[in-house]
């Protein structure tokens, strides 16, 4: 009886089981239809919002190269650590471990997370080394992520710092040519759409939205070899003479290119933590000074151009002083009668004053203006100073006199170098450029060639045995130039014990190729004349630069070179 009863209910159970399975199947089918058809758009949107992300693809900044394509600034890939405070806040042990690894104060990190608890992205440390990035990645702490970036590196360090400048941590130019040509150098970042997992790790690339475009390279006129030579010699001179600061500029006369520009003290752009604001500016472009006796050749040029004077025109400088109104202009001693060439050779203040006072003020002003004094050089360098050249209508006799030997006018080392480059180019003024030029730019004539040739002969005598700059001579080459020893301006007048030592010149005389200015601010030893302090730097840098550029010697019958001067304050 029991066996028959059991047998009778089995078909019913079988039907119930089949019905349950059909119901489950229908439920699954209905759910699938809902997911794949009815709710497809909504679910895709929600999924993408949680896992599909657009990430930026960084683009590296263009390189800065010297004229021979040697790198002066390059971008290297690095990684930065960022966190999501909402995820990391709950992982206290992870915060401690990460802080120790990144050499950060744990309390500071904790405070930073608390201040930014509503945000999803906070930088913790930027631009870490690859080995440190690998250690952070191995920790696998929730809420801690790495982002690829680029860091600027400067192979030249201090040597090229003032010209090249530097960028900030976001790769934006802050100083120098990095700032001036920021748009040219800046890359355009790309973007792509990726799928990220629950730990915000990219697991699949979906599509490329925009390809990154690296910045364009910038080729400078700077010759890294000459730049280093000038840096080395200027630094040595500053240390030897215990000076406050110094600048040097080397120009290519044929093209107007800046081949070297250095300053002391300098700084290391690779070490941002040690940057000092007082050392950042390019003094050769931003700082002005009174050029002293280096301005005298241009007064003589104005006199020769007018036709009233010739190189052998006599000028009586006796008795060594001259009254101009209530003021007195003095020489270091009574030179007696000199010719115009002798006024330059001996650097006579009395002689140049007499010449200047005999000329129309407008002629002097016009020539100095045409040479570039009182106006920017249009080099494009950030913060370039224009200097000072007062309008001639406001000159009185003593202002004309003091301007004739370089007081009451101010210029940058670059402006002074450009003026001497005009002499080297036989009276042609060319634009100054920090970029490599494919060909010599067209210039503008500001002085007759005959006047410049006469003046160059006088400037060569300055470096001769009877001149003030014997130490500026270069073995195998004829050199022309002018010394300057300038009293520094202070409140109420000029200091008796603080000087600028200056030398400006060109070489070789027969076919000038390079113009150079050296300015040393406040040499602290007993030697402070331009011929003692600045001229030797000119000689050593010019000697190396001419040979590096394969400029042929002009066979000057050089006398025995001695590092001494005539002892005259010029």
CATH superfamily, domain 55-219, is Penicillin-binding protein 2a (Domain 2) (3.90.1310.10)
200-256 pLDDT tens trace: 555 455 556 777 788 999 999 999 999 999 999 999 999 999 999 999 999 999 999
Q: Which two tokens stand for residue 137?
A: 């990645």
In sequence order, what are the residues at sequence separation of 6 or more whose Cβ sits closer than 8 angstroms to the Cβ of residue 21? none
Q: Give how far Cα 434 sits from Cα of 180, 203, 224, 377, Å.
A: 11, 47, 13, 11
| Three-state SS letters, 313-355 | CEEECCCCEEEECCEEEECCCCCCEEEHHHHHHHCCHHHHHHH
Q: Using the predicted structure, report yes or no on whether residue 198 has a pLDDT greater than 90.
A: no
At 43 the pLDDT is 55
Residue pair 355/299 in contact by the 8 Å Cβ criterion: yes
Residue pair 173/45 in contact by the 8 Å Cβ criterion: no
Is residue 233 helix, strand or coil? helix
Highest mean pLDDT among 14-18, 75-79, 215-219 belongs to: 215-219
Helix%, strand%, coil% for the chain, nearest 5: 40, 25, 35
Active site residues: 293
**Domain 224-267+283-548 in this protein, CATH class:** alpha beta
Quickly list DSSP for 359-416. S-HHHHHHHHHHTTTTS------TT----B---GGG--HHHHHHHHTT-S-BB-HHHH
540-569 pLDDT tens trace: 999 999 999 999 998 645 444 434 444 455
**What percentage of the chain has pLDDT greater than the value 90?**
63
At 121 the pLDDT is 84
In which band, very low, low, confident or very high, does the pLDDT at 110 lie, cut at 50, 70 and 90? confident
What is the number of other CB atoms lying within 10 angstroms of the CB of residue 50? Answer: 11
Q: Using the predicted structure, report yes or no on whether residue 429 has a pLDDT greater than 50.
A: yes
At 556 the pLDDT is 47
Domain ranges, ordered by start, for the chain: 55-219, 224-267+283-548
In which band, very low, low, confident or very high, does the pLDDT at 64 lie, cut at 50, 70 and 90? very high
Cα separation, 472 vs 205, whole angstroms:
66
């Amino acid at each position: 009886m029991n066996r028959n009863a059991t047998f009778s209910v089995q078909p019913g159970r079988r039907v119930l089981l089949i019905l349950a399975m059909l119901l489950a199947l229908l439920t699954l089918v209905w759910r699938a239809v809902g997911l794949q058809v009815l709710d497809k758009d909504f679910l895709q949107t929600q999924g993408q919002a949680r896992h599909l992300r657009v990430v930026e693809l960084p683009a590296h900044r263009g390189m800065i190269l010297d004229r021979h394509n040697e790198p002066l600034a390059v971008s290297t890939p690095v990684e930065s650590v960022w966190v999501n405070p909402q995820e990391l806040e709950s992982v206290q042990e992870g915060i401690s471990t990460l802080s120790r690894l990144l050499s950060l104060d744990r309390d500071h990190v904790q405070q930073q997370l608390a201040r930014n608890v509503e945000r999803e992205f906070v930088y913790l440390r930027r631009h870490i080394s690859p080995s440190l990035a690998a250690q952070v990645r191995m920790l696998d702490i929730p809420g801690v992520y790495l982002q690829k970036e680029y860091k600027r590196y400067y192979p030249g360090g201090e040597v090229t710092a003032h010209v090249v400048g530097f960028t900030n941590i976001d790769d934006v130019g802050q100083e120098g040519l990095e700032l001036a040509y920021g748009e040219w150098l800046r890359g355009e970042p790309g973007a792509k759409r990726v799928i990220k997992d629950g730990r915000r790790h990219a697991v699949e690339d979906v599509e490329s939205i925009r390809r990154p475009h690296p910045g364009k390279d910038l080729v400078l006129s700077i010759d890294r070899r000459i730049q280093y030579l000038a840096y080395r010699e200027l630094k040595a001179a500053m240390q030897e003479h215990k000076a406050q600061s110094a600048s040097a500029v080397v120009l290519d006369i044929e093209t107007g290119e800046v081949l070297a520009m250095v300053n002391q003290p300098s700084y290391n752009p690779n070490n941002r933590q040690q940057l000092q604001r007082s050392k950042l500016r390019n003094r050769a472009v931003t700082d002005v000074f009174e050029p002293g006796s280096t301005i005298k050749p241009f007064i003589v040029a104005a006199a020769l151009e007018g036709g009233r004077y010739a190189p052998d025109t006599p000028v009586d400088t006796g008795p060594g002083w001259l009254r101009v109104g209530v003021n007195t202009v003095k020489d270091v001693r009574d030179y007696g009668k000199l010719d115009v060439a002798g006024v330059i050779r001996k650097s006579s203040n009395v002689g140049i004053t007499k010449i200047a006072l005999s000329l129309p003020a407008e002629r002097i002003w016009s020539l100095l203006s045409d040479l570039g004094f009182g106006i920017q050089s249009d080099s494009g360098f950030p913060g370039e100073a224009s200097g000072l050249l007062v309008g001639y209508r406001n000159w009185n006799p003593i202002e004309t006199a003091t301007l004739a030997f370089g007081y009451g006018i101010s210029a940058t080392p670059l402006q002074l170098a450009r003026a001497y480059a005009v002499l080297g180019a036989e009276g042609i003024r060319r634009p100054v450029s920090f970029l490599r030029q494919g060909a010599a730019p067209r210039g503008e004539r500001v002085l007759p060639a005959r006047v410049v040739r006469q003046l160059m002969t006088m400037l060569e005598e300055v470096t001769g045995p009877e001149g003030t700059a014997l130490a500026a001579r270069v073995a195998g080459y004829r050199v022309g130039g002018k010394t300057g020893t300038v009293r520094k301006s202070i409140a109420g007048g000029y200091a008796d014990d603080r000087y600028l030592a200056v030398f400006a010149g060109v070489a070789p005389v027969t076919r000038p190729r390079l113009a150079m200015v050296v300015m040393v601010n406040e040499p602290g030893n007993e030697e402070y004349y331009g011929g003692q302090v600045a001229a030797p730097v000119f000689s050593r840098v010019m000697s190396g630069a001419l040979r590096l550029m394969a400029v042929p010697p002009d066979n000057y019958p050089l006398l025995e070179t001695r590092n001494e001067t005539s002892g005259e304050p010029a």
